[in-house]
Every structure is written in C-alpha cells, then in structure tokens.
C-alpha cells in the first residue's frame, strides 16, 4: 500500500530521528516553550517518542513518559512552524492517549503553556500538588522548580 501525498503518518521514532528530535527540542527550548533534552537522554528514551511524517518530512514529535502504573505524561510535544495549525498536535496527543490506554495507564498529564489546546482534547486543569509522581521525579531537578509557570492538565484514561 502506498502513502497518499500530504497525509500525515504517525510512527514510532527511530534511531535516525534522534538528531532531528534533538534539533526541534533545542529550537523550542530556546524559545522557552519546553525544557531541553540532551541527545543522550533522547537515545535512552527513544521508545517514548513518536513522530508524524508528511511526505518523508518530520512535521511533529511527541513522547509518552511513564511514571507509575497509574500515571503517564505527554512530553516534548512539538509541531514544526511549517506544519502548525493543521491538526498535527491533536493527532499526536490522540496517538499518545491511545498508547497510554493500550499500556493500561489510568491518567495522562501534561505541563503546558497552552492549556486551552489540551482542554479541547478532554484534559482538565489540576493543581501540581495532585501530581507528586511528576513533581518529585522530574520537577525538583528543573531550573524552574521554584517559579514554574506551566499549567498542569490531566486526562482520565478510563473514560471513553
């Protein structure tokens, strides 16, 4: 079966994608939109990542990080400027939700500067204190820990 031109294809990230994933994350980290990740960290967590390809070009990336048997997180969500406003962020989050459900997680969270985007997908804003798995495993190591300006959102995976 051949791919139709212009149709987005979501797939698991591959080793060959790591330099481009790193580039996108660095680019958006310098804008203050997300936290940077090292190449080594991306290699170690490669199985967490998905990419969206359009006609052979990576147009978006995202990752599912697992904290416990209960909680996962949407991380490193980036849609390249060229492909913004085409529904690729939504497509990526829907893929991550499907993966989280398949794995048996019950909750999926994200830290974001655009909670409205996540609200449209069924996430609700919550207090960071309700996510100790994230706070004590990741946030305490972040340079923004004492002045975090991101909004925590949560999705209940047990509902349809």
Choice among 9-13, 117-121, 129-133 with the minimum mean pLDDT = 129-133
Virtual CA dihedral for 140, 118, 92, 31, nearest 10 degrees? -60
97: CB partners within 8 A, 6+ apart: 108, 121, 155, 157
7: CB partners within 8 A, 6+ apart: 54
| Predicted local distance difference test score (pLDDT) of residue 14 | 96
- In percent, the amount of the chain with pLDDT more than 70 equals 84
Residue 118 has pLDDT above 80, yes or no: yes
Q: What is the mean pLDDT of the chain?
A: 86
- φ, ψ (nearest 5 deg) of residue 123: -80, 155
User: How many whole angstroms separate alpha carbon 48 and alpha carbon 52?
Assistant: 14
Residue found under tokens 């990336």: 61
pTM for the model stands at 0.86
Residue 32 CA, distance from chain mean position: 16
**Cβ contact 73:112 at 8 Å:** no
**Cβ contact 102:94 at 8 Å:** no
Class for the domain spanning 9-156: alpha beta
Taken in order 17, 69, 138, 154, the sign of the CA dihedral is positive
Choice among 12-21, 30-39, 134-143 with the minimum mean pLDDT = 134-143
| Predicted local distance difference test score (pLDDT) of residue 137 | 52
83-99 residue pLDDT tens: 888 899 999 999 999 99
| Predicted local distance difference test score (pLDDT) of residue 160 | 60
62-79 residue pLDDT tens: 999 998 888 999 999 999
Say which residue, 147 or 112, is predicted with more confidence.
112
User: How many whole angstroms separate alpha carbon 17 and alpha carbon 46?
Assistant: 9
Residue 21 has pLDDT above 60, yes or no: yes
């Amino acid at each position: 079966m051949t791919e139709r031109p212009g149709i987005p294809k979501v797939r698991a990230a591959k080793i060959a994608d790591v330099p481009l994933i790193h580039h996108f994350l660095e680019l958006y980290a310098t804008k203050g939109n997300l936290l940077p990740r090292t190449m080594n960290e991306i290699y170690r967590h490669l199985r967490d990542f998905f990419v969206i390809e359009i006609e052979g070009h990576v147009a978006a990336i995202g990752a599912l990080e697992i904290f416990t048997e209960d909680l996962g997180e949407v991380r490193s969500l980036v849609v390249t400027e060229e492909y913004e406003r085409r529904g690729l962020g939504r497509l990526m989050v829907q893929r991550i939700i499907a993966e989280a459900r398949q794995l048996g997680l019950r909750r999926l969270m994200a830290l974001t500067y655009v909670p409205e985007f996540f609200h449209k997908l069924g996430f609700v804003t919550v207090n960071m204190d309700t996510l100790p798995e994230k706070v004590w495993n990741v946030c305490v190591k972040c340079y923004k820990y004492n002045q975090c300006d991101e909004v925590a959102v949560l999705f209940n995976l047990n509902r349809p």
